[in-house]
Amino acid sequence: MKLKKCVAIALALTTALGVSNFTPAISQPNKVEAAENAFTKDQIDSLNYLNSIRRAMGIPEVKLNPLLNKASANHANYLKLNHESGHREEAGKPGYTGSGLLERMLAAGMTDNVSLGEVIAYSPRGVKVNIDQLVNTAYHRSIILSPDIKEIGLSYNGSSYVLNTAGYTFEDDYYASEASVYPYDGQKDVEIGFYGFENPNPIAPFGVAKTGYIISYYTPGKQWAEGMTLTLKDPKGTILPVFQETNAVGDSYFFPKQELKYNTTYTATVSYFDGNAEENRSKTWSFTTKADPYPASPPPAKTTPKAPICPKPPVKVMWKGLELKKGQLGLATIKSDTTLYKLKDNKLIFSRILKKGDVYRIYAFKGTKLLGLGGGYYVDRDSRVTYETPSKEKIALANCNK
C-alpha cells in the first residue's frame, strides 16, 4: 500500500495559550547531543522534547535532517526580514527562496518524492512553548505527532518558530500499524479547553468560540474507520457531549462541548467498524487535566449590589489610588516580564514585553487564559501576573461616567 503524495501545510496561531506540561512515559530516550552534525541547542531541545511526547504516545521517534533545518531557517529568516507571517513568500523580497513549501524544500536540497509538512508558531518564550502551542491545536498537532513522519527540521529566531517534516518516500510500503491518541493514555497536566486559536479554526463549523480540550484519534492507513464515535466520561461516569470531525483514515478530532474541569481524570473510548478487516474496533484510555492555576484568585462578590443612582454631575471613582475608568474590571500587576499580545483576525500577535512592576487596567477576562488590557491587547493570565478587582458597586458607579 503506497502513501499518497501530499504536502501538508499548517499555520499555528496559538501564541497566547498556556503551556501544557507533558508527562511522558518512562523509557530510555535516544537523546541527541550537541556534537552531532553541529545542530543548534534549539534544534536539539526541540527534537528531544518532541520525541519525549512521541515515546509516551507509543509512536516512532523522529530524527533531525540538516536539509529540513536549512529550509526552516530560510523561511524563518524571510518572515523576520519582512515582518510577515504565514507560509508564502514573494519573489523579490529579502530572503526569498521559494513561494511555496515544495519550492523552498527543493531549494534547500530536498527531493520531491516524500510527503512534506510545515507548521509555524510565534511565541518569543522558547522552543518548548512553541511546541506546546502546536500540540494544543488540532491540525498542527496532526503534522508533528503523525506516526508517518520520520524526520524534522526547524529554526527559531525568537519571533518565528518554523518546523518542517518529512515522511516516507512514495516507494516505501509503510503505514503505522497501530492507532494512536492524544492526550495519550495516562497523561497528566492536560489543558482544559481550546479557544479557537488555529487557522483554519476547527471549531468554527460548530458556531462556538471555545470547547473542551481537543482529543484526537489516529486511524492507521491499513484500516478504514466507519461510524466512529467517542464516549467521554468523567469520574462519576457521566457522559460528556462532544462535537466531532471524523475521517476514515488518519486523524479524527473530538471537542467536548464544555471546558473540562481542573484536576479531573477522564476516560475516553473510541469505537468504529473497520471496513478493511470487517470487524469492530475500540480503544479505551484515560488522562488527567492540570490543577487549577488560579486557586488564590479572589472570589466574585456574593452580595447583589443595588443599581447605582448616577450622581450629577458625575464624580471620579477612586480605587487603589487610581481613577476607576468606565468598563474597567480590575488592575493587573506584572510580577515578572511577560508578553503583550494584539488580537487580530482571531490570532494573537506579539506586541512587546511588559516589565516587572508595571500596573495596567483590566477591561476583560477572556476564558481562563487571558486578561484584556483594552484596545485589543492581552496578556497571559498566569503566575507572572496578579490581579485585583473592585467591588461591583464601584464598577457600576464608574460606569455612570461617560
pLDDT tens, residue by residue, 176-223: 778 999 999 999 999 999 999 999 999 999 999 999 999 999 999 889
**pLDDT surpassing 50 at residue 236:** yes
- Residues, the chain: 402
Q: What is the pLDDT of residues 306-329, one digit of tens each?
A: 656 787 777 888 998 899 999 999
State the pLDDT confidence band at 296, using cuts at 50, 70 and 90: low
Q: Average of pLDDT values for 125-148?
A: 96
CA dihedral 65, 68, 69, 75 (to 10 degrees): 180
What are the tens digits of pLDDT across the range 384-393? 999 999 998 8
Output the pLDDT for position 10.
Answer: 43
Radius of gyration of the chain, Cα coordinates, nearest whole angstrom: 24
Residue written as grid cell 473542551? 212
Per-residue pLDDT at 29: 39
**Beta strands at 180-182 and 330-334: parallel, antiparallel or unpaired:** unpaired
* Helix axes 127-135 and 41-57, enclosed angle (nearest 10): 30
Higher pLDDT, 240 or 3: 240
pLDDT band at 303 (very low <50, low <70, confident <90, very high): low
pLDDT surpasses 90 at 66: yes
pLDDT band at 299 (very low <50, low <70, confident <90, very high): low
**All structural domains of the chain:** 41-169 (3.40.33.10), 180-289 (2.60.40.1220), 318-400 (2.30.30)
Mean pLDDT of 140-149: 96
Q: What is the pLDDT of residue 321?
A: 87
Distance between CA atoms of residues 211 and 254, nearest Å: 10
